[in-house]
Amino acid sequence: MIEFLTYISFGFIGMQLVNVVINFIFLEKIGTTKILNKKLISVLIPARNEEKNIADLLSTLSKIKNDNLEILVYDDESTDNTAKIVKKFSINDNRIKLINPNALPENWLGKNHACYQLSKKASGEYFLFIDADVKLHGNIISDTVFYLEKYNLGLLSIFPIQIQKTIGEKVTVPIMNYILLTLLPLILVRKSPFKSHSAANGQFMLFKSDIYRKFSPHKLFKDCYVEDIVISKFLKEQKIKIACITGENRVKCRMYNNYKEALNGFSKNIFMFYGNKPALAFIFWIFACFGFVPVLIFKYSYLIIYLTLIVLIQILYSIIGKQNIFLNIIFFPLHLIFMLQVMINGLKIQKNKMFLWKQRNVYR
């Protein structure tokens, strides 16, 4: 039995290593181009209580000297100064417009409704949905449009490089890249026809507007709190090409400011990484956390190989996601403890059918 579990443990770590090596070797890059985009791009920003972030994003967008850009911000019933900040920017840049909120309809989630309302006001040939806490640099917008057209994509999504400042962030945020990059070769998101090879991040989603208008995906999945992943799977089912990229230096984000925020945020969607199957998530965690035990019991000399593979995986996914290699190795046990806490919290959310996000219940 121990020998069998040893083989299973090596199979698990081998699967992770193969996936992360594929992601490392076939890491896709947006690249840069000097080709001038002549088509209108709609930058669409859903914002609810984003007074701490919205000014930085709008300041960056204002510096992009491109007349073929419209910037629409939907104030999703904010109770802070979000709307006032947007209005100030709109005075100096007529490309920036504030969209005042409608009452949130029944059976809609706030962000999905905000994105759909933005799409109805947008005029561009491309719709770029970005969160207010995303930080953009350089000509990333026009370069992503060029990439989208190059591969004839209906959707291009980017997992931003995650900014981590506090210890709480450093022991929590890396689990997203760890899970993603050891489970799914991202090259398959673009190359494979299977919907199981789908991924997207709602922080940065660029659509061809005709594709978006045809399906209105935020309306179609109006009550889904992991709409980004569901939309990517849906588009693949419709035979529309999609792509998902990470490690792009010009797209960054500070998702959470501390441990508590990260726990709350990851708990709502942790199981979607595993096809919304909690059992698979716990199996993954058990082998990630205790896979070394049967190896240690069966043959001690194999343990060095096993631990070396773990370290190699940490190194590779850290390089891909532009994260601190040393800290990810040192904090890996804490990452696993946090992951368990997130999964337990996720089960409680499913049981209670209650998850508050920005003072709203987003569980359906």
For the question of whether the overall pTM of this predicted structure is more than 0.95, the answer is no
Cβ-contact 47, 132 below 8 angstroms? yes
Provide the pLDDT for residue 111: 94
Within a domain: 295:
yes
3-state class (DSSP) for residue 148: helix
What integer is the mean pLDDT of 40-47?
Answer: 96
Provide the pLDDT for residue 5: 83
Q: Measured between alpha carbons, how far is 266 from 323 in angstroms, rounded to an integer?
A: 18
- At 173-204, the pLDDT tens digits run 999 999 999 999 999 999 999 999 999 999 99
Provide the pLDDT for residue 38: 81
Within a domain: 34:
no
- At 157-172, the pLDDT tens digits run 999 999 999 999 999 9
Within a domain: 122:
yes
- 7 lies in the same domain as 133: no
- 322 lies in the same domain as 227: no
Cβ-contact 201, 244 below 8 angstroms? yes
What integer is the mean pLDDT of 323-333?
Answer: 97
- 162 lies in the same domain as 90: yes
3-state class (DSSP) for residue 136: strand
Q: Over 60: is that where the pLDDT of 139 sits?
A: yes
Provide the pLDDT for residue 361: 61
Provide the pLDDT for residue 165: 93
Residue bearing the bigger pLDDT, 34 or 169: 169
- 98 lies in the same domain as 140: yes
- 161 lies in the same domain as 239: yes
Mark which of 255, 285, 311 sits at the end of a domain. 255
Burial category of 56 from C-beta neighbours within 10 Å (exposed 0-12, middle 13-18, buried 19 and up): middle
Which residue is it, tokens 């090879």?
197
Q: Over 80: is that where the pLDDT of 300 sits?
A: no
Range of the domain at 179: 41-255
Within a domain: 361:
no
Average pLDDT score over the chain: 92
Q: Over 60: is that where the pLDDT of 148 sits?
A: yes
Q: Over 80: is that where the pLDDT of 235 sits?
A: yes
pLDDT level of residue 301 (50, 70, 90 thresholds): confident
Within a domain: 276:
yes
3-state class (DSSP) for residue 251: strand
- 52 lies in the same domain as 7: no
- 190 lies in the same domain as 298: no
- 45 lies in the same domain as 17: no
Which CATH number does the domain housing residue 216 bear? 3.90.550.10
- 251 lies in the same domain as 305: no
- Tell me which of 123-137, 271-285, 287-301 is least confident: 287-301
Q: Which residues pair with 159 in a beta bridge?
A: 246
Structural domains in the chain (count): 2
Within a domain: 309:
yes
- 198 lies in the same domain as 308: no
- 141 lies in the same domain as 245: yes
Most confident stretch, 200-214, 263-277, 297-311 = 200-214
Q: Over 60: is that where the pLDDT of 350 sits?
A: yes
Provide the pLDDT for residue 360: 59
